[in-house]
Structure 1
Amino acid sequence: MALLEVKHLGISFGGLRAVDDLNMSIEQGSLVGLIGPNGAGKTTAFNLLTGVYAPSEGTIVLDGESLVGKAPTEICKSGIARTFQNIRLFTKMTVLDNVKVALHNHVEYSLAESFFHLGKFSKREKEMDERAIDILKVFDLDGQADVLASNLPYGKQRKLEIARALATEPKLLLLDEPAAGMNPNETQELMDTIQLIRDKFHITILLIEHDMKLVSGICEYLYVLNFGMELAHGEPAVVLNDPKVITAYLGE
């Protein structure tokens, strides 16, 4: 059984059909791309998967559990984490604390223990510090753990956002245009990092991306959206040479 099964997913905003009859089957451990021209419905699809929008119809099943009707916080705890096209960090918090915020998704001590620093609090905080540093090491950010997130260069802010999402211990990681705004060297480093976290943490990854070098370089399977509808799907070498896909991107 696939980790994620999406069947006949759709949503309308007034008279606009933003996503129409979307079907996806994503296997455990795979690295999949969701691509298409601007306005194709890709981010809307991510918002449906994460509970930001409730679908008008269709089903979303993660590891055998239906996600339709669940709040974003519930879906996060069920195993989906995401990043955003526009970076969303706690800019006035340190790099370490940005990751620890996500680790609190699995917090086990009570409010009283937290307030008075009693019981499990000190032990759990120490464990979270160690876990956060371990995650930051994957992104080569452990040496900047005490730096404010706002003071990181743009490329490292992108990495920190992925690190924070990873800290929620997801089964499925959604990356929304992770290479946006990066230079070629940063993009290549990001490609290596994405493959590393998939292999190291055994996480399934679904990403939206316009950088076709990145898409063809790391994705094993692609889904293409156009005007909210599935245009094509398959292996990158086939999909990226599909005349329908080329036409959609060129606007012909």
Structure 2
Amino acid sequence: MALLEVTNLGISFGGLRAVDNFNIKIEKGQLYGLIGPNGAGKTTIFNLLTGVYQPTDGTIALDGEVLNGKSPAQICQSGISRTFQNIRLFHEMTVLDNVKAALHNQMTYSLADTFFRLPKYRKKEDEMNRKAVEILKVFDLDSHADHLAANLPYGKQRKLEIARALATNPKLLLLDEPAAGMNPNETAELMDTIKLIRDQFDITVLLIEHDMKLVSGICEYLTVLNFGTELASGTPNVVLNNPVVITAYLGE
């Protein structure tokens, strides 16, 4: 059984069909790419997968659990986490606290424990601190733990957003243009980091990306979207050399 199975997915906004009859199967442990020109419907699909939008038709199943009708918070608890094309950090919080914010849904203590700083609260806070630092080390951000997120360079802010998404303990991590705004050295580091995340944390990754060097360098399978429908699917070598894809996506 595929980890993510999307069947005949569609959504309409008024008279506009934004996504139509979209199907995808992603196996556990895959690095999967969703690509296509601007306006093709890629982020709309991410919004459908995470409950921001509810589909007009079709089904979304994660590990056999149908997610239709669930809220974004419920879907996050089921095992899907995401980043955004435009970075959404808590800029006035520290790097450490950004990651800890994502860990709170896994910690169980009462309001009284928190208010009176009881031993259970202190123990859970210590656990969160340790786990947050461990995650930051993966991204080489642990030395910035006490810095404000707003003061990080752009590339490190991108990494911090991925770290925060990882802290929710997802089965499937959705990355929306993770290399946007990065320089070539940062992109190369990001490629290594995404591979490490998959291997070390046993997480499946679905990413939207326009950087074809990154896509061809890490993705094992691609689906190309155009005008809300699938244009082609296959391995990167096959898809990126498809004349139809080149014409529609690369404009050649």
What's the counterpart of residue 108 of structure 2?
A: 108
Could you list the per-position Cα deviations for residues 130-177 of structure 1 after superposition, in whole angstroms to 9, with x for gaps in the alignment? 000000000000001000000000000000000000000000000000
Which residue is equivalent to 2:143?
A: 143
Shift of 1:112: 1.7
- Report what 1:155 is aligned to: 155
Q: CA deviation at 1:244?
A: 1.0
> Residue by residue, what CA displacement relative to the aligned partner does 1:89-141 show, whole Å, maximum 9, x if unpaired?
00000000000000002121112211221141000000000000000000000
| Farther-moved stretch of structure 1 (148-157 vs 240-249) | 240-249
Q: Distance in 1 between matches of 2:245 and 2:115?
A: 56
Distance in 1 between the 2:23 and 2:145 partners?
41
Percent identity for Structure 1 against Structure 2: 77
Match in the other structure for 1:2: 2
Matched, 1:13 2:7: no
Supply the AA of the counterpart residue of 1:130.
R
Deviates more, 1:242-251 or 1:136-145: 242-251
Matches within 5 A, 1:1-252: 1-251=1-251
Total equivalences in the alignment:
252
Secondary structure of the residue aligned to 1:189 is helix
Q: Distance in 2 between matches of 1:142 and 1:57?
A: 44
Give the Cα–Cα distance (whole angstroms) in 2 for the partners of residues 9 and 196 of structure 1: 31
Opposite residue 165 of structure 2, the aligned amino acid is: A
Where do 5+ consecutive residues of structure 1 fail to align? none
The alignment yields a C-alpha RMSD, in angstroms, of 0.8
TM-score by length of 2: 0.99
Partner amino acid for 1:21?
Answer: N
| Cα drift, residue 250 of structure 1 | 3.8
Question: Could you list the runs of 5+ residues in structure 2 that have no partner in the other structure?
Answer: none
